[in-house]
């Protein structure tokens, strides 16, 4: 394995702790040193509590001495996304309205990660209420890209992806409504999975039946991502929409040969996406690499024309339900783009919402039929490379104006509307070295096979 560093894999770290080659306290010290070195500039980890982290690491070491059976994440330092409630830890949701909020109960994904032995060290930065794919807020400021600090780290799991790439943490949790796991993974050059609906259940929740947003894992490698998915996936009696497969089944991705794999490759979903030329180049090179490995790569895409209205309608409806009261009470406490999106939900009728659900059902049926002809769909994760961090969002792509802060994220949120699992895997770089990921989409429920395909693609080494 060689000398263990903060850039080692999470699996290597866990194995070293189990073998008593390194203590949890020593591993924590390595990560705290990296955080002290890089976080002042990058601003990925917030609400860092070194004293409590050291107490947690000492408890992990005491468990090792006692001979307690180690959990799969035993002794690994972990900073939770600042929208996931952690009992006893400041949780702000990136909003000044919650700047001093301390929850009493762990969210389910947090409960599972802590139960697997992870050592809590702090939180990872988010945009306000996790909205928009650029991580900035008035509580903690802006998270910068670890490859080029003049650029965005993406969002809303931007702090998580940045901290991962920079070696501040070995694994990270996140959530994804319109691309919040996938876009920052692409921008920072890590792996991010939006699982199938119900794969990673959320509790507590205001509405178990609306699953536009899901929780999921981020990691530096597909194998590490599978490790974290095995911890956070699986049924829970409190969540009626949870899928029944136990999480442990995802720990070891299946071997999926690329030879004969039926790949639908689409740079723009038939013209629905405006895509930066460098992103398109990386996607086309990925297609060539897959074909060279024996995959049957064809230009093809499902018809997702209704996904635009479906996603935007349901998103506005959910935002109005979640934040409408707060906005009315604190009209000046929201960033303008979020306030506008909340107000867009005020004029929706029952017929509008019903139409969105009917179209979402049709999209699901269409994807099921599409995947009888193809094993995976490959398209851009993000339509642009990382953009300047002093912009809220890219205002144009190839000269085509992006009218709202959502327009440039279509490649991610159109897939959201289908309910299918999607993973972003590093695939290449721009001419000046900025990371670009490709998005691989599989049929609903085929998360394990998707991990196998992603790992096989990762092994092609296209990102280097």
CA angle 360, 184, 455 (to 5 degrees): 80
What's the rounded mean pLDDT across residues 260-270? 98
| Residue 35 scores a pLDDT above 60 | yes
371-422 pLDDT, tens per residue? 999 999 999 999 999 999 999 999 999 999 998 889 999 999 999 999 999 9
The alpha carbon torsion through 108, 109, 110, 113 (nearest 10 deg) reads 120
Q: How far apart are alpha carbons 412 and 235 in whole angstroms?
A: 26
Which token pair is 327?
């906005």
Question: Mean pLDDT over all residues of the chain?
Answer: 97
Which token pair is 33?
């040193």
pLDDT recorded at residue 210:
86
The alpha carbon torsion through 116, 119, 124, 128 (nearest 10 deg) reads 70
Q: How far apart are alpha carbons 398 and 384 in whole angstroms?
A: 10
> Residue 264: helix, strand or coil by DSSP?
strand
180-219 pLDDT, tens per residue? 999 999 999 999 999 999 999 999 999 999 889 999 999 9
| Residue 1 scores a pLDDT above 70 | no
| Residue 2 scores a pLDDT above 80 | no
> Residue 150: helix, strand or coil by DSSP?
coil
102-150 pLDDT, tens per residue? 999 999 999 999 999 999 999 999 999 999 999 999 999 999 999 999 9
Q: How far apart are alpha carbons 378 and 409 in whole angstroms?
A: 16
Using a 10 angstrom Cβ sphere, with 0-12 exposed, 13-18 middle and 19 or more buried, the burial of residue 59 is middle
Which token pair is 293?
């490995």
pLDDT recorded at residue 464:
76
pLDDT recorded at residue 408:
96
What's the rounded mean pLDDT across residues 165-169? 98
| Residue 346 scores a pLDDT above 90 | yes
| Domains of the chain, CATH where assigned | 10-250 (3.90.1300.10), 262-309+342-459 (3.90.1300.10)
343 near 319, Cβ under 8 Å? no
Q: How far apart are alpha carbons 41 and 207 in whole angstroms?
A: 38
Task: Count the neighbouring beta carbons within 10 Å of the beta carbon of residue 449.
Answer: 17
Is residue 180 flagged as an active site residue? yes
Is residue 373 flagged as an active site residue? no
Share of the chain above pLDDT 90, in %: 98
pLDDT band at residue 177 under the 50/70/90 scheme: very high
Q: How far apart are alpha carbons 214 and 43 in whole angstroms?
A: 25
438 near 424, Cβ under 8 Å? yes
pLDDT band at residue 229 under the 50/70/90 scheme: very high
Whole-number Cα distances in Å, 315 to 179, 210, 343, 345: 13, 10, 11, 8
Phi, psi of 236 (to 5 degrees): -145, 135
Which of the residues 8, 133, 180, 424 is marked catalytic?
A: 180
75 near 14, Cβ under 8 Å? yes
pLDDT band at residue 335 under the 50/70/90 scheme: very high
| Residue 329 scores a pLDDT above 80 | yes
pLDDT band at residue 244 under the 50/70/90 scheme: very high
pLDDT recorded at residue 211:
85
Using a 10 angstrom Cβ sphere, with 0-12 exposed, 13-18 middle and 19 or more buried, the burial of residue 249 is middle
Using a 10 angstrom Cβ sphere, with 0-12 exposed, 13-18 middle and 19 or more buried, the burial of residue 386 is buried
Which of the residues 156, 186, 230, 424 is marked catalytic?
A: 156
3-state SS, one letter per residue, for 163-214: HHHCCCCCCEEEEECCCCCHHHHHHHCCEEEECCCCCCCCCCCCCCCCCCCE
Q: How far apart are alpha carbons 453 and 295 in whole angstroms?
A: 11
The gap between the terminal CA atoms of the chain, to the nearest Å, is 21
Reported as type and span, the H/E element at residue 277 is helix 277-292
pLDDT recorded at residue 196:
98
DSSP letter string, 365-417 = HHHHHHTTT-SEEEEESSSSSPPBTTSSS-SEETTEE--STTGGGHHHHHHHT
Is residue 81 flagged as an active site residue? yes
300-319 pLDDT, tens per residue? 999 999 999 999 999 999 99
Which of the residues 8, 23, 47, 81 is marked catalytic?
A: 81
Segments of 241-397 assigned E as strands: 262-265, 296-299, 376-380, 396-397
Q: How far apart are alpha carbons 24 and 22 in whole angstroms?
A: 7
| Residue 46 scores a pLDDT above 80 | yes
Q: How far apart are alpha carbons 131 and 326 in whole angstroms?
A: 15
Using a 10 angstrom Cβ sphere, with 0-12 exposed, 13-18 middle and 19 or more buried, the burial of residue 97 is middle
């Amino acid at each position: 394995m060689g000398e263990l560093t903060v850039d080692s894999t999470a699996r290597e770290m866990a194995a070293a702790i189990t073998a008593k080659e390194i203590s949890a306290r020593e591993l924590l010290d390595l990560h705290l040193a990296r955080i002290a070195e890089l976080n002042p500039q990058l601003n990925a980890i917030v609400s860092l509590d070194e004293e409590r982290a050291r107490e947690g690491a000492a408890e992990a070491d005491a468990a090792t001495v006692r001979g307690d059976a180690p959990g799969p994440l035993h002794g690994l330092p972990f900073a939770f996304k600042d929208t996931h409630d952690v009992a006893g830890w400041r949780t702000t949701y990136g909003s000044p309205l919650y700047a001093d909020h301390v929850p009493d109960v762990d969210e389910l994904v947090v409960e599972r990660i802590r139960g697997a032995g992870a050592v809590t060290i702090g939180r990872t930065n988010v945009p306000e209420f996790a909205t928009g794919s650029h991580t900035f807020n008035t509580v903690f400021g802006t998270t910068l890209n670890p490859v080029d600090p003049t650029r965005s780290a993406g969002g809303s799991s931007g702090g998580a992806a940045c901290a991962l790439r920079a070696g501040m943490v070995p694994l990270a949790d996140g959530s994804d409504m319109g691309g919040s796991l996938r876009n920052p993974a692409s921008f920072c050059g890590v792996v991010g999975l939006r699982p199938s609906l119900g794969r990673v259940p959320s509790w507590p929740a205001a509405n178990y039946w609306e699953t536009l947003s899901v929780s999921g894992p981020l990691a530096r490698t597909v194998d590490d991502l599978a490790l974290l998915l095995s911890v956070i996936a699986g049924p829970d009696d409190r969540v009626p929409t949870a899928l029944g497969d136990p999480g442990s089944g995802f720990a070891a991705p299946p071997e999926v040969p690329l030879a004969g794999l039926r790949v639908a490759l689409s740079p723009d979903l038939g013209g629905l996406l405006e895509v930066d030329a460098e992103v398109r180049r990386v996607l086309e090179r990925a297609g060539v690499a897959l074909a060279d490995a024996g995959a049957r790569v064809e230009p093809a895409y499902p018809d997702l024309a209704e996904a635009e209205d479906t996603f935007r309608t349901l998103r506005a409806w959910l935002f109005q339900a979640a934040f409408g009261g707060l906005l009315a009470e604190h009209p000046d406490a929201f960033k303008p783009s979020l306030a506008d999106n909340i107000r867009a939900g005020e004029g929706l009728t029952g017929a509008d919402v019903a139409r969105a659900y009917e179209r979402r059902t049709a999209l699901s049926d269409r994807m099921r039929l599409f995947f009888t002809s193809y094993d995976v769909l490959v398209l851009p994760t993000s339509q642009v490379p990382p953009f300047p961090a002093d912009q809220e969002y890219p205002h144009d792509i190839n000269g085509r104006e992006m009218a709202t802060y959502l327009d440039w994220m279509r490649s991610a949120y159109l897939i959201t509307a289908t309910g299918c699992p999607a993973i972003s895997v590093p695939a290449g770089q721009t001419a000046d070295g900025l990371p670009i990921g490709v998005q691989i989409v599989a049929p609903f429920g085929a998360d394990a096979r998707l991990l196998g395909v992603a790992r096989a693609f990762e092994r092609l080494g296209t990102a280097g």
